Structure 1
């Protein structure tokens, strides 16, 4: 997702606002625990998307003496908060609601309303997920979804896609639970549906939190970006050899630290000018590279 156009978040927010309203109405009419769990989940998702939008705004703050490299990684913090909310507010609450209904079984009413709302919700969530997948494919057209999930450095898009996948799978579980309750007349299916939705949300939230935690600790640029940067530097005629190369993802931007042995220059000023040219060309070729720290040195023979 681009730093200036978080369209996937807006798609998800619009979808979840409509879905949450429909689910609360259906839960009130039917008394369905699965439906109530799904309504809570959609409400939590709305709050999560608002947090992501706030996090994106925070991440665009200009550098200050306290934060000389800006606040680009703030979005990772807010993404982790969203993952925790998804785990506890969405997942743990749904499990709790399901366990409660296992012991206090109440028959469902107006079940067809619940099924209709779940069907509408599937369509809306699918549209939201389609928006997120379009953003992903625009950036990584040749990667599988799982590989992108493990290698992406965009925590906001990671959270949105994970929430949408969890929502669609949760809707499928809730639909089957309500349908089985209708067929058998036994509300225990609805209770287990609520527990299943909660367990699924907790599992996906844990996966998201693991990936975002890695970003907070500090990840390099993506493997492809790092290879391209290294290839660019090795192709430069001014550089004899690369001693060390470090890349660091900083929000939407990248920090590059290079330790290299330069070719022989008659004057130190000429070498400094050559380094300045390399840095400018690097940033021109890779606009994501915001900071370059270049240290000339001698390679150990």
Structure 2
């Protein structure tokens, strides 16, 4: 994410902590399974945001002999832990709680307390999601949200946005479930709402985990960045032809490996100076590019 990432996570942590306390109180008053599932979800979100903050801190550690390229990709590991927590602590537990309520058929009490807390939570989660979407739109004005989700290389922003979407959708399900329980007097609606919230969280957690796993395995820079770097290299007068280009996203930074045929130089020193010039200009044009490995070669004819 951008430099605004820690601030956004702190805001989300404070909001989810307050929401979780309200939900637990409301669940105790009403006996609502959907409300309790939502309280567990908000608690899991608080833990998730603490993990992301810790991961961001770990990812900023300087390079060392053991990690010569730094630890920028460590944030992906913590993002995967967050996805797993969202799946098991948020999703699976909510499904279990819903099944338990479905069997027990426990009636709700003080239902308007539950509806009020859910309504306030919807407002707060909407504001949080809008903040995440503003960051996404600022960086990717021409992409749909789904395309950004599939192509982003920022696991922390991916998790924050995914959590916000899951939270908002889960609140809507819980609100409808409690409302239907009030209208019909049948607690089965509340139990089904808890199960619905759990299944939703498990689906979204699975989607997040799939994307983060790909980042851990190793992804190239975004398609737009790769195209820009290739266009930059092909436009250089020192380069006769670009033979191969590899990019690798390394946390917030990018590794570039170039194999290119240079124009004819009378001396090897002149070619080395030209390569150094290209590397410096590339890093100046694209500050995300931290490492450049340049191999001069010949096109096989």
The answer to whether 1:227 aligns with 2:227 is yes
SS at 2:157 equivalent: helix
C-alpha separation in 1, matches of 2:6 and 2:146: 21
Aligned residues between the structures:
301
C-alpha separation in 2, matches of 1:117 and 1:5: 28
Which residue matches 1:125? 125
Contact 2:35 2:114 in 1 (8 A): yes
Which residue matches 1:169? 169
C-alpha separation in 2, matches of 1:69 and 1:202: 34
Aligned-pair CA distance for 1:11: 2.4
Q: Flag structure 1 segments of 5+ consecutive residues without an equivalent.
A: none
Written as runs of structure 1 = structure 2, the 5 A alignment for 1:173-188 is 173-188=173-188
Aligned-pair CA distance for 1:10: 1.9
SS at 1:6 equivalent: helix
Aligned-pair CA distance for 1:5: 4.3
SS at 2:95 equivalent: helix
Aligned-pair CA distance for 1:68: 0.1
Contact 1:8 1:157 in 2 (8 A): no
Written as runs of structure 1 = structure 2, the 5 A alignment for 1:186-201 is 186-201=186-201
Q: Flag structure 2 segments of 5+ consecutive residues without an equivalent.
A: none
Deviation digits for residues 36-77 of structure 1, max 9, x if unmatched?
000000000000000000000000000000000000000000
Which residue matches 1:154? 154
Aligned-pair CA distance for 1:7: 2.8
Aligned-pair CA distance for 1:137: 1.0
Written as runs of structure 1 = structure 2, the 5 A alignment for 1:48-197 is 48-197=48-197
Deviation digits for residues 237-292 of structure 1, max 9, x if unmatched?
00000010000000000000000000000000000000000000000000000000
SS at 1:260 equivalent: strand
Contact 2:5 2:157 in 1 (8 A): no
C-alpha separation in 1, matches of 2:76 and 2:120: 32
CA-based RMSD? 0.8
SS at 2:141 equivalent: coil
Task: Please give the TM-score of this superposition, normalised by the length of structure 1.
Answer: 0.99
C-alpha separation in 2, matches of 1:4 and 1:136: 12
SS at 1:207 equivalent: helix
Aligned-pair CA distance for 1:205: 0.2
Aligned-pair CA distance for 1:3: 4.5
Written as runs of structure 1 = structure 2, the 5 A alignment for 1:30-41 is 30-41=30-41
**Which range moved further: 133-142 or 88-97?**
133-142
Written as runs of structure 1 = structure 2, the 5 A alignment for 1:246-261 is 246-261=246-261
C-alpha separation in 1, matches of 2:157 and 2:221: 16
Aligned-pair CA distance for 1:15: 1.4
C-alpha separation in 1, matches of 2:282 and 2:150: 27
Task: Please give the TM-score of this superposition, normalised by the length of structure 2.
Answer: 0.99
Deviation digits for residues 138-165 of structure 1, max 9, x if unmatched?
1101111000000000000000000000
4+ residue runs over 2 A deviation:
3-8
